[in-house]
Structure 1
């Protein structure tokens, strides 16, 4: 059986990497949602892999590098491109379409411009191009602010992002109305809930749907201090079981699943994260982060493992929760009203901003903003066996 080749681009966006496709470049059977599309993307990435290495594919054996993106020119008024994100499981035959990747969102604008999906008349020769993106997974608008130079996307620059080794050009990303549905951020109607978790106990939790559904709990309640590194959590099987139990109960309370067993088929959402007040720590790069440089500490789980930095969509959730007085995120940051927050994660720090309002019918997220960077790593074709989808 011969292999087929499919035009693709391997890109870094923020602290993630993924394989980007134009919808029209996919084989016909994979241009629509369904088993054929999932099977193709699994084979491209190299999943399912019982060795959890993804050696026979483009994946990097972490949740940050097991990602795919499909883009097409948008027919939706006021938008340039439709963006669909698929989080590919490493060891199971499963592609999760339930949420967005905030980090790769920063790469969507540059890819869309370079691929001819944005009207050339809207692009400045030099300056900032505004790319209007429809995030098809969650039905939300994202605006990417992409630097241009000499009529092309500018990728190099001096913007440093903790968790990324080399500097690059800054790409500001606005997540418009980031909460699900009509904008209600708190599915339970409360900024803090009592969450009963079998085998763990009753925990205070902030359950928020902004950027991505997220369950925030207090680090202290789990026996942590908030400065934990990847190996501390990921090397502790019992800790992973407890955190997954918290995620499952949070998903039930948020109405994302109806039975605990369904959590296994919804690995990408919700996220679970634990927060703590600021303290000094040493990041994974060896850099010292001082308590007075940050507002709070956050550690977040992604696909069952502690993330090496911070997922972009979780950063939106952090910013949105920090903007609402009384949430666990807000309280860890010192309380009060705020429109931005700088938090410490395993790789360093990140500043994000958000606007929220309370109309009397509950809190609404208006916009969240962060800066990332993006770069093309490789472009050409990916190859898969013809009978793999």
Structure 2
């Protein structure tokens, strides 16, 4: 029994981190989608792990740190790089390819530049390199603005991102036309729907396909304040089971699944989140956030747990919904028309810009933008059993 070494880079992007691969560096049997690729990535991350720790792999035992990325020079003439994201389940032998990771998107441009996947003529020695990314999971364009100094990606700086311990260089990320290209931004045609779940009161819900399919609920209807931190929900097994049941019924109403049983095989999407009007709270780091600093509160769950900050794709959904009068997100933010929103999450605050317009009865958003940061944590080879190659 021998191990094989695969070139890989461990990177933080936004409030997530994952293992990045260039497609050409993967074993031949993993260069195409399928069971061989999934088996390889599961072993890299250390899943499935019945102990829930991913001790024998690169995963960090949370949805934010159980992630993989595969990049290749784009097959499209008008894009630089093709970006594929795999969300690896922790306790199940499953890789979810149904959505994007907005946080790791912040690291895609930097990795693509350092791997030579971007035409050198487009990369300034000093200034901003504009990397046009094709997000292959959702067939959308993302534009990353990567700072360059002396011909190298600038990773360090003074930009602070709540949910990340140390400051770094700012990376502006723009999600172009983030609505689901296969249907309406609002899959039911309504800004607010009634969601019926057995044993529950009828919930108000906003279903949206922007960034990632998301179900927004009112905190008060769930019995929450909207200022909850992770331990208030993740330590409550009954609450987590309740959220998963609600998420499954919401996915069914959105048309993402045909039966409730399918929800278990689609853990990454849709996301479920709840909103509340702005109020003062203390973040997980102990930082005091005044009500005047934010427009509303949002708490979101990812892979069955309350996220420690906010998923980048869910932030796209939040920014989009906030810009459209009538959604639950817009109502919680005060109800007025807006082109940006700053929301409170467990780790602090985040500002997202979005401009929406209604055309022939359908809402459209040209792009959603936010600032993130990214940094290489380790470069080299990841080792897995030779039998996986």
Q: Where do residues 119-268 of structure 1 align in structure 2 (5 Å cutoff)?
A: 119-181=119-181, 184-268=184-268
Normalised to the residue count of structure 2, the TM-score between the two structures is 0.99
Q: Which moved more, 1:233-242 or 1:302-311?
A: 233-242
* Match in the other structure for 1:115: 115
CA-based RMSD of the aligned residues comes to 0.8
Q: Where do residues 262-301 of structure 1 align in structure 2 (5 Å cutoff)?
A: 262-301=262-301
**1:112-155 CA deviation, whole Å, 9 max, x = no partner?**
00110000000111000000000000000000000000011000
Contact 1:2 1:386 in 2 (8 A): yes
* Match in the other structure for 1:68: 68
C-alpha separation between the residues in 1 aligned to 2:153 and 2:237? 44
* Match in the other structure for 1:355: 355
Q: Where do residues 40-79 of structure 1 align in structure 2 (5 Å cutoff)?
A: 40-79=40-79
**1:309-354 CA deviation, whole Å, 9 max, x = no partner?**
0000000000000010000000000001101000000000000011
C-alpha separation between the residues in 2 aligned to 1:40 and 1:199? 41
**1:262-296 CA deviation, whole Å, 9 max, x = no partner?**
00000000000000000110000000011000000
| Alpha-carbon offset, residue 388 of structure 1 | 3.7
* Match in the other structure for 2:322: 322
* Match in the other structure for 1:82: 82
| Alpha-carbon offset, residue 357 of structure 1 | 1.1
**1:78-111 CA deviation, whole Å, 9 max, x = no partner?**
1000000000000000000000000000000000
Contact 1:16 1:65 in 2 (8 A): yes
C-alpha separation between the residues in 1 aligned to 2:37 and 2:241? 31
C-alpha separation between the residues in 2 aligned to 1:355 and 1:26? 40
Say which SS state the counterpart of residue 292 (structure 2) adopts.
helix
| Alpha-carbon offset, residue 183 of structure 1 | 6.6
Say which SS state the counterpart of residue 251 (structure 1) adopts.
helix
Say which SS state the counterpart of residue 166 (structure 2) adopts.
coil
Contact 1:177 1:183 in 2 (8 A): no
- 4+ residue runs over 4 A deviation: none
Give the gaps of 5 or more residues in structure 1.
Answer: none
| Alpha-carbon offset, residue 249 of structure 1 | 1.0
* Match in the other structure for 1:345: 345
| Alpha-carbon offset, residue 201 of structure 1 | 2.4
| Alpha-carbon offset, residue 182 of structure 1 | 5.4
C-alpha separation between the residues in 2 aligned to 1:126 and 1:300? 38
* Match in the other structure for 2:310: 310
| Alpha-carbon offset, residue 230 of structure 1 | 0.4
Give the gaps of 5 or more residues in structure 2.
Answer: none
| Alpha-carbon offset, residue 77 of structure 1 | 2.2
C-alpha separation between the residues in 2 aligned to 1:204 and 1:61? 33
C-alpha separation between the residues in 1 aligned to 2:3 and 2:201? 52
* Match in the other structure for 1:5: 5
Say which SS state the counterpart of residue 7 (structure 1) adopts.
strand
C-alpha separation between the residues in 1 aligned to 2:102 and 2:183? 18
C-alpha separation between the residues in 2 aligned to 1:54 and 1:37? 18
| Alpha-carbon offset, residue 76 of structure 1 | 0.4
C-alpha separation between the residues in 2 aligned to 1:15 and 1:260? 31
| Alpha-carbon offset, residue 259 of structure 1 | 0.2
C-alpha separation between the residues in 1 aligned to 2:260 and 2:82? 32
C-alpha separation between the residues in 2 aligned to 1:201 and 1:39? 41
Contact 1:339 1:353 in 2 (8 A): yes
- Equivalenced residues, count: 389
* Match in the other structure for 1:37: 37
Q: Does residue 369 in structure 1 map to residue 338 in structure 2?
A: no
Say which SS state the counterpart of residue 204 (structure 2) adopts.
strand
Say which SS state the counterpart of residue 196 (structure 2) adopts.
strand
Say which SS state the counterpart of residue 157 (structure 2) adopts.
coil
C-alpha separation between the residues in 2 aligned to 1:263 and 1:55? 27
C-alpha separation between the residues in 2 aligned to 1:181 and 1:362? 13
C-alpha separation between the residues in 2 aligned to 1:96 and 1:359? 34
**1:2-23 CA deviation, whole Å, 9 max, x = no partner?**
0000000000000000000000
